[in-house]
Amino acid sequence: MTTLSAPAVPALLDLLRNDGYAFVTHDAMRPLLDRASGLDDWNEFAASWNDLAPDAYLAAHGRYRRRRHATFSAVPGSPVTPEPHQPHYQALKYNTLQGDIERWFEPVLPTIAASASMRSILRFCHDFFGALAPGVPRWHVEVHQFRIEANAQTAGEPTPEGSHRDGVDYVLVLLVDRHNIASGTTTIHAPDGRLLGDFTLTRPLDCALIDDPRVFHGVTPVTPLDASEPAHRDVLVVTFRAAPPAIADLV
């Protein structure tokens, strides 16, 4: 079994610095998350994807996406801290389908937001992204639980806006589950559209790490392997963006 040991973490950081993205397999990701709060409650954490709300903002494009959303903040040397529920906002230049509007999604359940698995994932992100940008005094952190559903009539589109950037600094995409689906291949592109790489998250904890200002990313539509059975792709997306200075810091 391949694992990413502590001495290999600098190599992973170099991948982000050099290429703008990295694909981390489940067997490499597990020890990185075990160093934090661990994943002892992973089964309960993963099961919470069965209780996501429909994404009403995609009504014109089909109701194949379910999600919940939460916001956190992070400062160096302290745990990631939950913030009051608030809308998700992207500028139109980053999301041509739903940009320039405040989207209010159902919140991540409190027990899931405070779970050991969530704490481990957020701590890894804080440590890892913080090492890439040590000068950031405070991070705005958003967490998205996504379920993309597919059936015989309709393919599920993880990224209906196509290849895009999220308008943040760093992105983690962590596979939680995939059931009865084909495809769902992540593609990474240069700003001029050139394909830089592609990979498919196939096992829980397979992960993509992305330097958002440098590369574009997308995911191909998913279709059911067996059209008579339910089909879904579950991922957790975590974004880190340097927060603007607090008003107190400006006076």
Using CA atoms, how far apart are residues 54 and 66, in angstroms rounded to an integer?
4
CB 161 within 8 A of CB 90: no
The whole-angstrom separation of Cα 177 and Cα 236 is 10
Cβ atoms of residues 156 and 182 within 8 Å: no
Pairing state of beta strands 185-189 and 101-103?
Answer: unpaired
Give CA 187 to chain center in angstroms. Answer: 15
Helices and strands: H and E segment counts in the chain: 6, 15
Q: Which amino acid is at 31?
A: P
Name the CA radius of gyration of the chain, rounded. Answer: 17
pLDDT at 246: 61
Q: In this predicted structure, what is the pLDDT of residue 32?
A: 92
The length of the chain is 251
CA atoms within 13 A on the CB side of 165: 22
pLDDT tens across the length of the chain (251 residues)? 233 444 478 889 999 999 999 999 999 999 999 987 789 999 999 999 999 988 876 655 545 789 999 999 999 999 999 999 988 665 555 555 554 477 778 999 999 999 999 999 999 999 999 999 999 999 999 999 999 999 888 888 877 777 888 899 999 999 999 999 999 999 999 999 999 999 999 999 999 999 999 999 999 999 999 999 999 999 999 999 999 876 444 43
**pLDDT given at position 251:** 37
| Contact present, 138 and 211 (Cβ < 8 Å) | no
pLDDT, residue 88, reads: 66
The residue whose two tokens read 């959303």 is 69
The H-assigned helical ranges of 8-81 are 9-19, 26-34, 42-47
**Quick check: helix, strand or coil at residue 226?**
coil
Structure tokens that stand for 197 in this block: 């790489």
Q: How far is CA 49 from CA 7, 76, 79, 148, in A?
A: 34, 30, 25, 10
Distances (CA, A) of 65 to 88, 96, 154, 231: 16, 17, 12, 12
Positive or negative, the CA dihedral 108, 110, 115, 118 is positive
* Residue 229 amino acid letter: E
Tell which CATH architecture fits domain 23-245. Answer: Sandwich (2.60)
Phi-psi region of 77 (alpha: psi -120 to 50; beta: other; left: phi over 0): left
